[in-house]
Amino acid sequence: MRDLIVGWPKAEVHLHLEGAVEIETLRELAACRGLPPPPADLYDYPDFGGFLKAFQMVCDYLAGPAEYETVTRKLFGRLQQQGVVYAEIYVAAGVLLWQRKPLEAIFDGIEAGYRRARADGGPEARWILDATRQFGAEAAMEMTRRAVPLRGRGVIGIGIGGDEERGAPELFREVYAYARAQGLRLTAHAGETAGPESIWGALRALGAERIGHGLAAAGDARLIEHLADKQVPVDICLSSNLRTGAVRAIEEHPLRGFLDAGLLVSLSTDDPAMFGTDLAGEYLLAHERLGLSIGELRRLAANSFRASFQGRRLE
Ligand SMILES: [Zn+2]
């Protein structure tokens, strides 16, 4: 079954570069710079807040362009093994700028890693710069201004992630309006740890073209109808939702209901190393634990291309 899934061409549209760094790689990077190794339990989290802390710690180990080149190259090797032919990958630019790291120089490192990976037959990719909600709108605007000159280098859009409770979508209205005017595509994590109002806000105040997670839509029939009508892509990341406690048990995950309601859903890993998963593993989980048929899994694989910003254009 795993071989069958790996054999299907797939896109991955919800994947954080930093969340794809294996602990083993962090150990190697730390040893190179004479730093203490990461704690062995770095990727065990009690809750969503614990996950965010671990994510920031991973960013601490990624000091500059050389580290980013290494982790980019390693990620693409794994994507290739999973049958991923196209990816839209988040870079935690909000965290980088918060840590006063040189975003443009780091992007040189990412590009160098990507070029090497492409030369080795790795998948095509675009980049999404992700702002961090709890750092506020001004920081997100600064990140977006810095994203604009990177458009010619594969940066396709912006997103917001982090703590939904500490950053309602409405706060970022002007940031998204500016990004849209600059030709950047728009996505937002929403309805992962907050309620349906967060998804409505992402759609109405921000004009988000894609929704990351969107779990809370399950409790709002009107929202489900809207998402189905407009075919707004919703990225589903099963292991992530389990590991952060966004859903209590896999059986409670709304994927099956979303699919039956006609939503444009696709599967992604979110932070594969931090959640101990890979893309084929996510498809297997949907099959074995949520009862999706092989035909439905193939539909999700086809949806992954429709969900991508290359597959859809702004109206
Ligand atoms: Zn995410």
pLDDT digits (tens, 9 = 90+) for 142-179: 999 999 999 989 999 999 998 898 899 999 999 999 99
* Higher per-residue pLDDT: 48 or 12: 12
Q: State what percent of residues in the chain have pLDDT above 90.
A: 91
Q: What is the mean pLDDT of residues 223-243?
A: 97
User: For the chain, what's the residue count?
Assistant: 315
pLDDT of 100 strictly over 90: yes
pLDDT given at position 195: 95
Query: Tell me: the pLDDT tens digits for 104-120?
Result: 999 999 999 999 999 99
* Higher per-residue pLDDT: 315 or 137: 137
What are the structural domains of the chain?
Answer: 2-307 (3.20.20.140)
161 Cα: distance to centroid of ligand 1 (angstroms): 7
Maximum mean pLDDT: which of 28-32, 53-57, 186-190: 186-190
Helix or strand (DSSP H, E) at 138: helix 136-147
Q: Give the closest residue to 64 by CA, choosing from 33, 85, 88, 90.
A: 33
298 Cα: distance to centroid of ligand 1 (angstroms): 23
pTM across the whole model: 0.96
18 Cα: distance to centroid of ligand 1 (angstroms): 11
- H helices of 150-254, in order, are 173-181, 196-204, 221-230, 238-243
Mean pLDDT in the chain? 95
Query: Tell me: the pLDDT tens digits for 237-261?
Result: 999 999 999 999 999 999 999 999 9
Establish whether 282 is a catalytic residue: no
pLDDT class for 308, splitting at 50, 70, 90?
A: very high
Strand pairing class (234-236; 210-213): parallel
Catalytic residue from among 192, 197, 252, 282 = 192
In this structure, the number of other CB atoms found within 10 A of the CB of residue 138 comes to 9
Question: For 172-191, b where at least 16 C-beta lie within 10 A, e where not — what string?
Answer: beebbebbbeeebbbbbbbb
269 Cα: distance to centroid of ligand 1 (angstroms): 9
187 Cα: distance to centroid of ligand 1 (angstroms): 11
pLDDT class for 313, splitting at 50, 70, 90?
A: very low
90 Cα: distance to centroid of ligand 1 (angstroms): 8
pLDDT of 314 strictly over 70: no
Q: State what percent of residues in the chain have pLDDT above 70.
A: 98
14 Cα: distance to centroid of ligand 1 (angstroms): 6
300 Cα: distance to centroid of ligand 1 (angstroms): 18
